[in-house]
A and B are shown apart, each in its own frame.
Chain A
């Protein structure tokens, strides 16, 4: 056990000293202000148009989406999405709750929702894709494997390090989002109510289980779900990193897969078997939010199962290959 801890320490420091995490923080520091600025502009336009009357603003969104429903040019899947949205917004209006109180917590919540598909996987892969293949490309893998340490322990220590960094990345993203957007929107909003538990069945939204939680709790749950999805991406990235020699190749492979996933979820509603692919299931927080899933019939349990199976499969392949493969030049 002490042995393993020492290995994790070694791996953690190695990743830290490569300044991978510093790069991620830098990217966040540049990107978040850009989005904060954009959001501020939107808020200003709304303020001008609705004079701070959120009920009128909400009703306008409902009316807009209702009108779109009557158009024949809009595909049926989009209509379903809008129908669900209208019913949800109506629920908020009926209970006199503002779904978009302008504050840092709301901004963070929205940022994370939008980041889960591409941005968070990108940051996670910046570390995961490098973990094994960089040892190969620099040749240090020979040093590592000639030590009197079992190979599976080395890979396990890398996996544990990866989980630590994935957690750190997500918490850092949330913290930076909150801190930066708070300058503009104010640091309140932790106890604002959010409705969860909308169940989307085709075109109907079942509100039987809907209940309110505070925005703080919502953010915690959302972060937990995003973390699970990010872990699966990281583990699959680790597998590719074991299989592919170069860091660049492994990173590009994974990013291509992730991007394909977002495209698939946007258009796969007619190809229902796509729901068994991991990259269509990454947006776990949409179940919390209650937006219709990309393919009908997907639920939180289903997506967790699909992601879990892919993760376990990737782990199996990683350990199997890593403990057996010959290291050639």
Chain B
């Protein structure tokens, strides 16, 4: 009986203390939700990532950032690795040091205007600033949209190379902006732009599109050359013979083998 009384005293007081603590927490939550105060001051921090630069050979570790559209994300590749993972892996093997992908920032369906908007986001700035190597693809969706004579393909709209040719000057200035912005965010990184290809090369009426794609790639190369530490990796020739062997089911994105060949090209350009 005596032990019972002690048990009750301990149990009663402990549980009562718990009850009071939780009731206080409950009240606090209501107050904080309905009558919020200023709360904790968050210390302002300087930008976390330092722009790198310098020779790769001197660095113990390399960082890669990739951005752009579905090609960079790796759509069509059943392994999900795309060209980005292949390049980072191979680069690590070749240089014999850890090569880390900071972020793959690609967004499916992205056009240049989307990418330019994204450059204002903290995470984009951070990843780009941290990188020693920046891989990107952009413009494919822009051109595809320009080539459509209104109406989508499904609704019976058609792709027209002539239309694309006329409207190309509308979008080329944006590519200039993309290159400029990248360089602004990271002064020292090597920038690799993966050039466009014509996924419809095997369709006779679309073959003339290749000329416009070449024009686009030339423009990109001009920008890269002006930059000094950037390059354009050509891919158009990879998707002309045996198109179906290297394109995925959607006849637009590369498949695993296609990405493998793109990665091979990038490796050749880097080393």
| Residues of chain A in range 18-41 having any CB-CB distance to chain B below 8 Å | none
Chain A residues with CB below 8 A from B24, complex form: 220, 224
Beta-carbon contact of A90 and B42 below 8 Å: no
Beta-carbon contact of B28 and A168 below 8 Å: no
Beta-carbon contact of B122 and A94 below 8 Å: yes
**A196 at interface (Cβ–Cβ under 8 A)?**
yes
Tell me, in angstroms, the Cα distance from A168 to B39 when the chains sit together.
30
Q: Known interface pairs A197-B33, A212-B40. Does A66 touch B15 (Cβ–Cβ under 8 Å)?
A: no
One of B4-12, B132-140, B219-227, B256-264 contacting the partner: B4-12
Give 1 or 0 for each of A95-117: 1 = CB within 8 Å of chain B CB. Answer: 11100000000000000000000
**A214 at interface (Cβ–Cβ under 8 A)?**
yes
| Residues of chain B in range 68-127 having any CB-CB distance to chain A below 8 Å | 73, 100, 102-109, 121-124, 126-127
User: Which of A93, A97, A171 has a CB less than 8 Å from the CB of B42?
Assistant: A97
Beta-carbon contact of A167 and B123 below 8 Å: no
Chain B residues with CB below 8 A from A13, complex form: 4, 7-8, 11
Beta-carbon contact of B26 and A224 below 8 Å: yes
User: Which of A164, A224, A300 has a CB less than 8 Å from the CB of B28?
Assistant: A224
Min Cβ gap B4→A in Å is 6
Chain B residues with CB below 8 A from A8, complex form: 12
User: Which of A53, A217, A228, A300 has a CB less than 8 Å from the CB of B33?
Assistant: A300
**B155 at interface (Cβ–Cβ under 8 A)?**
no
**A67 at interface (Cβ–Cβ under 8 A)?**
yes
Tell me, in angstroms, the Cα distance from A213 to B130 when the chains sit together.
30
User: Which of B18, B33, B73, B122 has a CB less than 8 Å from the CB of A67?
Assistant: B73
User: Which of B8, B18, B33, B105 has a CB less than 8 Å from the CB of A171?
Assistant: B18
Q: Is the interface of A mostly helix, strand, loop or mixed?
A: helix
Beta-carbon contact of B7 and A93 below 8 Å: no
Tell me, in angstroms, the Cα distance from A242 to B32 when the chains sit together.
37
Min Cβ gap B7→A in Å is 7
Chain A residues with CB below 8 A from B34, complex form: 301
| Residues of chain A in range 56-74 having any CB-CB distance to chain B below 8 Å | 56, 58-60, 62-63, 66-67, 70
Chain A residues with CB below 8 A from B121, complex form: 90
Q: Known interface pairs A70-B109, A96-B48, A228-B26. Does A59 touch B123 (Cβ–Cβ under 8 Å)?
A: yes
Beta-carbon contact of A167 and B126 below 8 Å: no
Number of B residues contacting the other chain (C-beta, 8 Å)?
A: 50
**B37 at interface (Cβ–Cβ under 8 A)?**
yes
Chain B residues with CB below 8 A from A197, complex form: 32-33, 36
User: Which of A90, A165, A222 has a CB less than 8 Å from the CB of B29?
Assistant: A222
User: Which of A12, A66, A170 has a CB less than 8 Å from the CB of B22?
Assistant: A170
**A178 at interface (Cβ–Cβ under 8 A)?**
no
**B180 at interface (Cβ–Cβ under 8 A)?**
no
Tell me, in angstroms, the Cα distance from A164 to B19 when the chains sit together.
6
Tell me, in angstroms, the Cα distance from A53 to B109 when the chains sit together.
28
B65 (CB) vs chain A CBs: closest residue: A56
Beta-carbon contact of A93 and B39 below 8 Å: no
Chain B residues with CB below 8 A from A53, complex form: 102, 130
B38 (CB) vs chain A CBs: closest residue: A211
**A142 at interface (Cβ–Cβ under 8 A)?**
no
Chain B residues with CB below 8 A from A63, complex form: 103-107, 123
Most B-side CB within 10 Å, residue of A168, A170, A212, A304 = A168
Q: Known interface pairs A55-B48, A95-B42. Does A12 touch B27 (Cβ–Cβ under 8 Å)?
A: no
Chain A residues with CB below 8 A from B106, complex form: 63
Beta-carbon contact of A93 and B26 below 8 Å: no
User: Which of A60, A67, A168, A209 has a CB less than 8 Å from the CB of B14?
Assistant: A168
B26 (CB) vs chain A CBs: closest residue: A224
Min Cβ gap B225→A in Å is 30
Min Cβ gap A327→B in Å is 28
Beta-carbon contact of B18 and A168 below 8 Å: yes
Tell me, in angstroms, the Cα distance from A13 to B32 when the chains sit together.
37
Beta-carbon contact of A168 and B15 below 8 Å: yes
Q: A209-B36, A220-B28, A224-B27 known; 10 other A-B pairs, CB under 8 Å? A: A12-B11, A51-B100, A56-B103, A59-B123, A96-B45, A212-B40, A221-B32, A224-B24, A224-B26, A224-B29
Listed by A's residue number, 7 A-B pairs whose Cβ atoms lie within 8 Å are A9-B8, A12-B15, A62-B123, A211-B38, A222-B25, A223-B22, A224-B26
